Amino acid sequence: MVPDGVFDQFSVALGAQDLHDPVLMIGDRPGRHLQDSTDFLHHLAFSQQLQHFTLSVGEACRDVNRDFYVLIAATKALAREVAKRGITANVVSPGLIDTDMTKDLPLAQLLQDELARLGRLEWLGEELGALGDARALTIEPEEAWRRIRGLHDLDPARARLARALGAWRERNAIEHDRPRGWILEDAVLREIVMQVPRTLESLAQLPDMPAGLVKRRGAELLACVEAAQVPDPPPATPGRARPDPAKAALVKKLSTVSQSVATELNLVPEVLATRRDLEQLADGRRDGALLNGWRRAILGERLLEAL
């Protein structure tokens, strides 16, 4: 069972004023967790442009008494606006919103009773606990490169370089309190890994490489290249791998199991497992969400049996 007060504790953690309020949760740079409710959107002033945006959103939400759909639309717009800065925006909506039509309904109790009847209170506790944990926004610097697209199936030397560059960027982002992309964009990092520049001149010639970055941090980037001990000339870059028929068949098999369980529970399959989750499981990874918490008991064990 969820411990007494878990809903209230989570509401306080997100800055909500009432259990039934939809809550806007914002997480930004590595190691930080910025959260706020609609009453205080005007305090989220990361920049003048964003300040004007959040001021208008805050007024709109108050004018419509925190209307559910307005809050979702506002969060989507905010997410698009700030995504380029590495900031994410999410809405946590506990369900019905307090209005004149629902003021006499014991909303919180109804929700808890229904979840208890379905045996899913612990699921909710795990999900909310994860969202309220600022550590979920952090990553070990040495593993940061794994989040960058286009760096899979590298030769060992380039994998060392990707790891070194990812760790260097992560540490600088934390130290200087800046989004990762402000330190070094993913596309530029990939070019360094693939082209393996060894001089400031070759570094400056990489596509989209900012001249100021070469001037300020070029020596540090070349130190990462040297430390990775990539052979000169480097190994040939890997070609685009053809889909593995065996893996595709296994992912399809796992997807069938997931859809079957979702049907039994009357849930959307993606609530239990995304395709990425299933692909990681098929690749042999055992550290994903499917093998932890309530998902393991509901679905993970059945997926393991299907492997």
Domain boundary among 90, 120, 137: 137
Query: What is the residue whose two structure tokens read 């005007």?
Result: 42
270: CATH: 1.10.150.80
Q: Would you mind telling me the total number of residues written for the chain in this entry?
A: 307
Please give the residue range of the domain that contains residue 167. 143-228
pLDDT in tens, 81-139: 766 666 667 776 655 556 666 667 676 677 788 888 888 888 888 887 776 666 666 67
The pLDDT of residue 51 is 37
Residues 67 and 169 in one domain: no
CB-count exposure of residue 176 (10 Å: 0-12, 13-18, 19+): exposed
In a domain, 237, yes or no: no
97 and 199 share a domain? no
From 122, 137, 152, give the residue that closes a domain. 137
The span from the CA of 287 to the CA of 223, in Å, is 32
Last residue of a domain, one of 107, 137, 167: 137
- On the question of pLDDT at 13 being above 90, the answer is no
Q: Name the domain count of the chain.
A: 3
Mean pLDDT for all residues in the chain: 75
Tell me the C-alpha to C-alpha distance, in Å, between residue 35 and each of 70, 85, 129, 262, 268: 18, 16, 14, 32, 28
Phi and psi torsions of 264, nearest 5°: -60, -35
What is the arithmetic mean of pLDDT over 166-192? 91
The predicted-structure confidence for 257-291, as pLDDT tens digits, reads as follows: 999 999 999 888 888 999 889 998 998 888 888 88
Do 103 and 187 share a structural domain?
Answer: no
Residue 56 in this model has a pLDDT that exceeds 50: no
pLDDT tens profile 220-260: 999 999 999 999 899 888 666 677 888 999 999 999 999 99
C-alpha 169/C-alpha 177 separation (Å) is 11
Check if the beta carbon of residue 277 is closer than 8 Å to that of residue 288: yes
What is the b/e burial string over 41-65, where b = at least 16 CB atoms within 10 angstroms of the residue's CB?
A: bbebeeeeebeebbeebbebbeeee
Taking 50 as the threshold, does the pLDDT of residue 17 lie above it? no
